[in-house]
Structure 1
């Protein structure tokens, strides 16, 4: 997720930049004022409570505000992130937001502060007042608003500067220049986030070569169950010996062994930016296992990709691979190739359907040159980075 707090004095252009960030990164806009007014209009329990406080001349408490924000976030589980406008306003609210983010298993990525000299703010707002008709666009009110903003904001900015996530932006520049800087900061924050990819496709679709290329491009760990099993066999480990016995008896490797190998690999690369999984999950059971292994480490699937290749092309590729001497055991005849493709269809297609529902699976044309296919895959990965789930 991408969670941003946008700050700026009256006249700094927060409205314009908020609109851009929300649209560009598919964020949910959270303005405490707007949310409060909506709760009151809907006559929710919190809205009724807030309305009675306001009617009595009081200020709505932080306790009510944070409940409204939490409710809004929970009601939008599909959001790619949140843009907080005007919150937190105080040092105490900064701590409240941090606690709320922790409770929701996320965090504030950055605070973007649009800085503008007071005289420039006054000039902009007075010019706006000539056409806006707003009664608060007069110099006395403007300077009072600026004074209040500075008094409340300085402690909040200090709170986030200590955390290293406060970015100061020169708001005197053009809208386009400010937007470019905000985009650069957002892009940098998105690159820091874990990226975990599941690569689906029939045998012969090119998952191995494309998966390794993607791992190199994005600095990820490539995890292939076949490769891990082959390493165990080659190193003559206890697991390798068990796998050979299973193969010799025509049996499949049980999930207990696969889980051990995957968990070992995840533990060995605990600080990795992310992983590309090829050959896992093959079954619905394995899909639940993988989700659990990732969740245990505070991770989740970022995107699921499926390479689509016509059946005749798959058979041709696998037959050619078998003739080259570098194929799998099922590449030795067309009959075995067809049997392996059918097995994939019966066991893995239900998994693909599950990922399509839960993780937004993307189908990618797997025909053409290596570079053409790779370019298509990269385009989808870039989209997932920009709009994380």
Structure 2
């Protein structure tokens, strides 16, 4: 999930930028200010408790804020993530937010602060007072709110700076330029986010070609058990000798062989942004094994993408590849091709169900040109980036 806290003093333009961010990223909007004003308008118990505090420019109690946010989260399904406007405003609320995010099995992606000079803030809010009629838009209250911000809210910046999640943006200038600066920070943050991908599909679906392209685009380490096994066989290693009988028949090699190769590949890239797995997992047992391998890195599978393609097309592609220099040992035999496709149907398709239960599985049409399929895959990957931490 993409969870953003839009931060900054009163009058910085958070509301304006929030509307644009919601449209671009399809996030759930949580504005404590809007929710409080709504409660006051309907005369609810929470609204009456908050009214006198807001009119003086003070901060409403954490108990009230937490109740409002929990109600909002429960009432509206979360989409690609949450945009927080006006929360957290104290370090106590920052800890509260960590707890709320933990309940959703996610975390805050970043805090973006709009920085605007004090005279400009006062000018903006005085101008807004002429139009909005808000009771907290008068000069005395404005000055009080800004002092309150300096005293209580700025320590929140230090809280998230220590976590490497705080970014300042120049809040002066035209709205479009400010928005571009905000989205640039978000994209940069997403690129730093680990993403682990399982590319899944029957033999001949084009997984290898597309996995390499995705690895390049998203700066991921490509892990193909098939490629690693062929290298071991070519080099006549002990692993290669053990794997040869299985590879020649197009069968799944023993799990301990695959594990040793994958672990070695992972350990070769300690600074990786993530991994894209092609050809693994091919069974439910291997799916559990992959979970364990990634858990050692405090990571998990972000998305599993299934490339869907008719069986007849797989036959055609594998038969055609068997006539090229890229042929596999099992491409030249119709019996072996059938065996591999049966293996996929009988054992590997269940892997899709495994990830579907975790809401991590997406299907992509594997027919069309390489570029057409790649575009579909990148659309799915981009959504996964938003939904991952």
Same fold (TM over 0.5): yes
CA contact (8 A) 1:196 1:300 kept: yes
RMSD: 3.8
Residue in 1 aligned with 2:313? 313
Q: Could you say what secondary structure the match of 1:324 adopts? A: coil
Q: Could you say what secondary structure the match of 1:83 adopts? A: strand
Which segment is superposed worse, 371-380 or 277-286?
371-380
- Deviation string 1:207-228 (CA, Å, 9 cap, x unpaired) is 1122122212222111111122
Task: Note the residue ranges of structure 1 that are not aligned, 5 or more in a row.
Answer: 42-46
- Deviation string 1:233-284 (CA, Å, 9 cap, x unpaired) is 3344433332235568997422233223223322332321111111112122
Residue in 2 aligned with 1:295? 295
Residue in 2 aligned with 1:206? 206
| Superposition deviation, residue 200 in structure 1 | 1.7
| Superposition deviation, residue 3 in structure 1 | 2.9
- Deviation string 1:63-95 (CA, Å, 9 cap, x unpaired) is 786687689779989654333332332244445
Query: Taking structure 1 as reference, are residues 106 and 14 closer, same or farther at Cα in structure 2, changes over 3 Å only?
Result: same
C-alpha distance in structure 1 between counterparts of 2:59 and 2:11, whole Å: 25
TM-score, scaled relative to structure 2: 0.81
Paired residues for 1:377-388 under 5 Å: 377-388=377-388
C-alpha distance in structure 1 between counterparts of 2:319 and 2:15, whole Å: 60
Query: Taking structure 1 as reference, are residues 121 and 342 closer, same or farther at Cα in structure 2, changes over 3 Å only?
Result: same
- Deviation string 1:261-309 (CA, Å, 9 cap, x unpaired) is 2233223323211111111121222222223322332222233223333
CA contact (8 A) 1:53 1:59 kept: no
CA contact (8 A) 1:195 1:275 kept: yes
Residue in 2 aligned with 1:155? 155
| Superposition deviation, residue 359 in structure 1 | 0.7
Q: Does 1:330 align with 2:360?
A: no
Q: Could you say what secondary structure the match of 1:193 adopts? A: coil
| Superposition deviation, residue 56 in structure 1 | 12
TM-score, scaled relative to structure 1: 0.81
Residue in 1 aligned with 2:284? 284
Query: Taking structure 1 as reference, are residues 60 and 325 closer, same or farther at Cα in structure 2, changes over 3 Å only?
Result: closer
CA contact (8 A) 1:356 1:362 kept: no
C-alpha distance in structure 2 between counterparts of 1:118 and 1:80, whole Å: 34
CA contact (8 A) 2:39 2:47 kept: no
Task: Note the residue ranges of structure 2 that are not aligned, 5 or more in a row.
Answer: none
Residue in 2 aligned with 1:219? 219
CA contact (8 A) 1:203 1:341 kept: yes
C-alpha distance in structure 2 between counterparts of 1:280 and 1:138, whole Å: 63
Q: Could you say what secondary structure the match of 1:306 adopts? A: strand
Q: Could you say what secondary structure the match of 1:337 adopts? A: helix
C-alpha distance in structure 1 between counterparts of 2:352 and 2:6, whole Å: 39
- Deviation string 1:2-50 (CA, Å, 9 cap, x unpaired) is 3322222222221222233234223343445677899999xxxxx99x8
Residue in 2 aligned with 1:44? none
Query: Taking structure 1 as reference, are residues 236 and 61 closer, same or farther at Cα in structure 2, changes over 3 Å only?
Result: farther
C-alpha distance in structure 2 between counterparts of 1:138 and 1:67, whole Å: 28
C-alpha distance in structure 2 between counterparts of 1:325 and 1:6, whole Å: 54
| Superposition deviation, residue 317 in structure 1 | 1.8
Residue in 2 aligned with 1:24? 24
CA contact (8 A) 1:88 1:97 kept: yes
Residue in 1 aligned with 2:371? 371
Q: Does 1:361 align with 2:362?
A: yes
Aligned length: 383
Q: Does 1:137 align with 2:137?
A: yes
CA contact (8 A) 2:203 2:314 kept: yes
Residue in 1 aligned with 2:347? 347
Q: Does 1:257 align with 2:266?
A: no
Which segment is superposed worse, 257-266 or 183-192?
257-266
- Deviation string 1:84-121 (CA, Å, 9 cap, x unpaired) is 33233224444555577678775443322222333333
Residue in 1 aligned with 2:114? 114
Residue in 2 aligned with 1:123? 123
C-alpha distance in structure 1 between counterparts of 2:32 and 2:89, whole Å: 10
Which segment is superposed worse, 321-330 or 137-146?
321-330
Query: Taking structure 1 as reference, are residues 70 and 229 closer, same or farther at Cα in structure 2, changes over 3 Å only?
Result: farther
- Deviation string 1:115-161 (CA, Å, 9 cap, x unpaired) is 23333333332333223233332222222222222222333334444
